Amino acid sequence: MVAEAAAAERVVAELREACAAPPARLNDVAAAMEAEMRAGLREEGGSKIKMIISYVDNLPTGNEEGFFYALDLGGTNFRVLRVQLAGKEKRVAKRESKEVSIPPHLMSGNASELFGFIASALAKVIAEEGRNDVFQDKQRELGFTFSFPVRQTSIASGTLIKWTKAFSIDDAVGEDVVAELQMAMEKHGVDMRVSALINDTVGTLAAGRYNDEDVVIGVILGTGSNAAYVEEASAIPKFEGELPKSGNMVINTEWGNFYSSCLPITEYDQALDEESLNPGEQIFEKLISGMYLGEIVRRVLLKIASQSTLFGKVNHTKLKTRFILRTPDISAMHHDETADLRVVAEKLADNLKIKDTSLETRKMVVEICDIVTSRSARLAAAGIVGILRKIGRAVPGDERRSVIAIDGGLFEHYPEFRQCLESTLVELLGEEASRSLVVKLTKDGSGLGAALIAAAHSQYQH
């Protein structure tokens, strides 16, 4: 048994070394992130990260008033939100939302059917309002969160590059999704103007800014990961046309695709990437986001099971099933505070059919969860520091308060991840500079954030 334990411990020791992210390495990651950002701002396709110009040049201030709508389309359901904004005092006076599931046949049909279905749902929402005198001489305005790759050409237009997830509507690719929606709304007698096309990360930034004027970065740390931030428009060489009056421009970094030779990448990450649907792409996301953490841990456990009998006689079928271990399972094991690590025992038995483990073995599993999650949180922190340095924030001598709005289940529901991220920021920025830094959970950027951007870009703004 001693030899068995030694073999397993060797796997864990190798993992710890391969995942190591000491401050010097993280500073290299932050520097590489900043360099990629600059390259991506210089020219289209100049960098691994796209640095997409969002055309959002005004973020909400909290003074917005009136009714605004949001449409959030990113998966098999979409949501329609109606928000009543009541200025500085009352803020969001009222919000209602309705979720609609999309019939599967519409996800692979044609564009006019899908957008027609969405427009009819919008028409229902308006019909249910009854008479609303506000809109007697005014058009309703909508923020549209569209969570698919889009080449944006203005605040309210963008052509679909490709579908992802379960969608495959060929005649929509290369088309302007706002024009498609606008056309469908007109057919259904919906008098509504799409005043902004955004993604959920830009929405998170807006939702954060609405409640705190010092928010400068929005980050998603959930199933996937991305970041958006406020850049000076004059610092975007690839930007064509007149600079916005505000002098600012929100940039959607698409940092999930970031790659640098200084990233701590293990054999497990390489194998996961090779077997993924997009090999060689989204490497940073595969290291840090919630979609992948459980899968990395599963691969480590499989290696231990194949090199030792520490888990007893295991039927490897479950252990070999990709994505059978999810990040919520990892989180539950990582936070197990029972004396005998009962939660770990249950998760191993239920998910992987690994039963009768010793306490020592269960402790080792917790350690593996800790190594993988810490690397994830520390790399996410390094990415944030790269953005802060790019915009000259939270550096020594900068007195301004800098707030980072973060959304996503990984950050919200995984306390160990969150604590590690926050302590790593302090470690990298130093005590003094990090005093002016605040990290805030900011929810529903894809809904509320979209309605707020519609308000900030309203045609009726004085």
Catalytic residues: 79, 147, 200
SS (H, E, C) the chain: CHHHHHHHHHHHHHHHHHCCCCHHHHHHHHHHHHHHHHHHHHCCCCCCCCCEECCCCCCCCCCCEEEEEEEEECCCEEEEEEEEEEHHHHCEEEEEEEEEECCHHHHCCCHHHHHHHHHHHHHHHHHHHCCCHHHCCCCEEEEEEECCCEEEEECCEEEECCCCCCCCCHHHCCCEHHHHHHHHHHHCCCCEEEEEEECHHHHHHHHHHHHCCCEEEEEEECCCEEEEEEEEHHHCCCCCCCCCCCCEEEEECCHHHCCCCCCCCCHHHHHHHHCCCCCCCCHHHHHHCHHHHHHHHHHHHHHHHHHCCCCCCCCHHHHCCCCCCCHHHHHHHHCCCCCCCHHHHHHHHHHHCCCCCCHHHHHHHHHHHHHHHHHHHHHHHHHHHHHHHHCCCCCCCCCCCEEEEEECHHHHHCHHHHHHHHHHHHHHHCHHHHCCEEEEECCCHHHHHHHHHHHHCCCCCC
